[in-house]
Amino acid sequence: MTVLTPAAGWVGILLGLAGSFVLSVFGFRAQRRPSAVRRSQLRFAVGCMVGGAVLAMTALEVALLTDNFAMSYVAETHSRATPLFFTITSAWSALGGSIVLWALVLAGYTAAVLRQVRSTDDRLGTGALAVLGLVSIFFFGLVSTVANPFKILPNPPADGPGPNPILADHVMVAFHPPLLYLGFVGFTVPFAFAMSALLLRKGGVEWLRRTRRANLVAWSFLTAGLVLGAWWSYEVLGWGGYWAWDPVENAALIPWLVATAFIHSAVVQVKRGMLQAWNFVLVIATFALTILGTFLTRSGVVASVHSFTESGVGPAFLGFLVLVLAVGFTLFALRGERVASLARPESLASREGVFLANNLLLTLFAFVVLSGTLYPIVVEALTGDQVSVGRPFFDRMAVPLSFALLLAMGVGPFTPYRHASLGVLWTRLRVPLLLASAAAAAVVLLGGISSPGVVAVTGIAVAIVAASMRQLVVTAPKPRHKGVPRVLRGQRAYWGGQLAHIGVAVVAVVIAVSGALATRATVIVDRGQSVEFARYTLTFERSEEHAQPDRLIRDAHIVFRADGEVAWTAEPRLNRFNNQTQAVGQPAVWSGPTRDIYVALAQLGDDQVSLNLYRYPLMAWLWVGGALAAAGGFWALSGRTRRPAAENTAEPVMADA
């Protein structure tokens, strides 16, 4: 029995690997000669991939749940004392399992693409399936070689060390990594279609139309994954922030920035036939950056360039990255000229002009973050010197770029295509501008805020929301209470985008406000004593110890009183896991609509506690804004947008006000 489960996992991986081989061979053959391959053959190959990946994932979960320590992955990441919930999530808390999950998600996306490919006459589709097969070969190959979780140990240990403590502490581990993977892996689909279109020497918008769903699914999941990751970091890590510009965080942000640029430039190509070559560049870059991100997080290269050859995973990812870049850009260089669009914007003062500005800003943003992330690695590899690139650098670069992007967001969606006159812009933006300047004045005079950043962001955000609302009301047919929902449902692409913009505006306001108007304090309190913070009286009442199967928890009970009444009891704690020497702190967070109070333990003695206290205004709205952005993506792709591939109707043109 102990050997059966890993053996089943092995069978699954090999089945998936075989399926990927067959899919890529038959897919390319079908692209060259559609009559040589039947669709059922492709379906069989995809079936093998999906079946194999599901079998492998199931075997992994069964092995974890049955404490099967004869399997290497279980012996390394599991312990008998791990609670059920974190046992399930350990399936992706370490390298081998997370690549199995990756392969499973990739197989799922491949099956979704297969559903679109109605017959082998669809040469764009069969070619895309072939490229998906090639990428799957890499991931199934990785699981069967350097990242194999199914190795059978000759002398199984009686118990294991358990998962990484940070990954066994919070419910978010069940959501953040899978969402991030759904996002990362999803960008393989547009990459596959782009490669297929280049192989066919077939430009045009068909590959963009057919990957629109996959793009938006991937983008929305990646957005949700990023926001949840920030939330998790805020709730768990205890340093009082949500974004540290850590290389691992940047690795997820960079593909998001480029993918956001791609979503926008795809619109320009579909509507105006421009930026065709640029779209190929962006889609290859997005896919390559997801691989680079995984390389950075999984190879250990970030910790030190010297540690990365220790596992075979780093070189494998690096090799695959080089391959993707070389093949992708070579193909693009050979065929790009043929597929490049000749159309140029008639005037830069137009929707496509603002789209162009948005693309330049987003790619510059991605480039800056990328160079800041890679620079220390490159310097250390070349000279052996260690340098740091941290928050001050990234903030200095990100703030002006973000302001420019917010401005583009306020103007772009309300600018007509082809040519925008000042008159039209004034008509559409005068009321939003009035509200924005009123908001800015109110924040200064009534709110007494002296931070220029906060005032500017508030003004621009109000303009974005107001311009969007105005557009909705003006373009909706009468009567409005019926017309508005009809417009929202009818033009999902546009209004989904607007929802995402509003979400981003909310996020920008919270970032500015929580950064500039935060209150911090470090206090040392004796037992029974009180201190004042943010108009509350804090009393350190007692500390307690709770023994759990896998950890010893020590917490401090800090009572917050307002006017003598108990308002909240903070229980920040230190978790000492059985097999780890270092205790891991977990902060206590009191969220409210106007502010968060954040209490982190610095030191905990029996009679004295040292606390880091933070008060962040509006903090909870950060997650709301992120959720709005992701919801905007999902709204844009919902509804009946699927149409037969042959049909070539244009998207309905936005009604102009």
Partner 1 sequence: MRRRRLLQAGLALAIVALLAVAVVGLLTARPGTPDRAYELEQRLRCPVCKSVSIAESPSETAEAMRAVVADQVAAGRSDQEIIDYFRARYGDWVLLDPPASGSTLALWMLPVAAVVIGGAVLVLLRRRPPQDESLTSEERDQVRRAVEQARSRVDDEVTP
Please tell me what DSSP assigns to residue 189: H
**Least distance to partner 1, CB of residue 572, Å:** 10
Q: Any contact of residue 232 with partner 1 (CB under 8 A)?
A: no
- Residues numbered 485 to 524 that lie near partner 1 (CB under 8 A) are 520
**Least distance to partner 1, CB of residue 24, Å:** 35
**Least distance to partner 1, CB of residue 339, Å:** 14
Which residues, 6 or more positions from 383, have their beta carbon under 8 angstroms from its beta carbon? none
Which of 119, 386 has the CB closer to partner 1? 386
Q: Any contact of residue 293 with partner 1 (CB under 8 A)?
A: no
Which of 190, 572 has the CB closer to partner 1? 572
Beta strands in 152-230 (DSSP E): none
Binding map of partner 1 across residues 377-416, x = CB under 8 A, - = no contact: --x---x-xxxxxxxxx---x-------------------
Token pair belonging to 355: 């789209």
Phi then psi dihedrals of residue 176, to 5 deg:
-60, -55
- Residues numbered 437 to 466 that lie near partner 1 (CB under 8 A) are 437-438, 440-441, 443-445, 450, 452, 455, 459
Q: Any contact of residue 364 with partner 1 (CB under 8 A)?
A: yes
Q: Any contact of residue 243 with partner 1 (CB under 8 A)?
A: no
Which of 44, 375 has the CB closer to partner 1? 375
**Least distance to partner 1, CB of residue 612, Å:** 6
Buried b / exposed e over 473-506, threshold 16 CB at 10 Å, is eebbeeeeeebbeebbeebbbbbbbbbbbbbbbb
Which residues, 6 or more positions from 613, have their beta carbon under 8 angstroms from its beta carbon? 520, 521, 522, 523, 533, 534, 538, 597, 598, 599, 600
Cis before residue 83, ω within 30 degrees of 0? Answer: no
Buried b / exposed e over 143-159, threshold 16 CB at 10 Å, is bbebbbbbeeeeeeeee
Q: Any contact of residue 534 with partner 1 (CB under 8 A)?
A: no
Q: Any contact of residue 585 with partner 1 (CB under 8 A)?
A: yes
**Least distance to partner 1, CB of residue 61, Å:** 30
Note the Cα 468 to chain centre separation in Å.
25
* CA distance linking residue 274 with residue 3, whole number of Å: 57
Total number of residues that touch partner 1 (CB under 8 A): 50
Using the rule CB under 8 A, which residue among 9, 177, 238, 353 binds partner 1?
A: 238
Q: Any contact of residue 105 with partner 1 (CB under 8 A)?
A: no
**Least distance to partner 1, CB of residue 370, Å:** 9
Report the alpha-carbon angle 575-238-243, nearest 5.
Answer: 140
Using the rule CB under 8 A, which residue among 155, 158, 333, 344 binds partner 1?
A: 344
Which residues, 6 or more positions from 56, have their beta carbon under 8 angstroms from its beta carbon? 9, 12, 13, 16, 100, 103, 104, 143, 150
Stretch that binds partner 1, among 103-111, 310-318, 362-370, 533-541 (CB under 8 A): 362-370
Token pair belonging to 207: 């590959």
Strands of the 519-526 sheet, one edge to the other: 519-526, 608-617, 595-604, 588-591
Which of 22, 466 has the CB closer to partner 1? 466
Using the rule CB under 8 A, which residue among 240, 336, 515, 617 binds partner 1?
A: 240
Which of 158, 445 has the CB closer to partner 1? 445
Which of 108, 617 has the CB closer to partner 1? 617
Rg (CA), the chain: 27
Cβ–Cβ under 8 Å, residues 350 and 358: no
**Least distance to partner 1, CB of residue 302, Å:** 9
* CA distance linking residue 51 with residue 19, whole number of Å: 9
Using the rule CB under 8 A, which residue among 65, 323, 399, 602 binds partner 1?
A: 602
- Residues numbered 544 to 573 that lie near partner 1 (CB under 8 A) are none
Which of 159, 380 has the CB closer to partner 1? 380
Stretch that binds partner 1, among 73-81, 136-144, 556-564, 600-608 (CB under 8 A): 600-608
Using the rule CB under 8 A, which residue among 367, 403, 568, 590 binds partner 1?
A: 367
- Residues numbered 55 to 84 that lie near partner 1 (CB under 8 A) are none
* CA distance linking residue 19 with residue 195, whole number of Å: 20
Cβ–Cβ under 8 Å, residues 29 and 36: yes
Using the rule CB under 8 A, which residue among 372, 412, 413, 633 binds partner 1?
A: 372
* CA distance linking residue 500 with residue 628, whole number of Å: 6
Cβ–Cβ under 8 Å, residues 222 and 262: no
Other CB atoms closer than 10 Å to residue 341's CB: what's the count?
A: 18
**Least distance to partner 1, CB of residue 441, Å:** 4
Which of 395, 607 has the CB closer to partner 1? 395
Which of 459, 632 has the CB closer to partner 1? 459
Interface with partner 1 (CB under 8 A): 238-241, 244-247, 342, 344, 360, 364, 367-368, 371-372, 375, 379, 383, 385-393, 397, 430, 433-434, 437-438, 440-441, 443-445, 450, 452, 455, 459, 520, 585, 600-603, 612
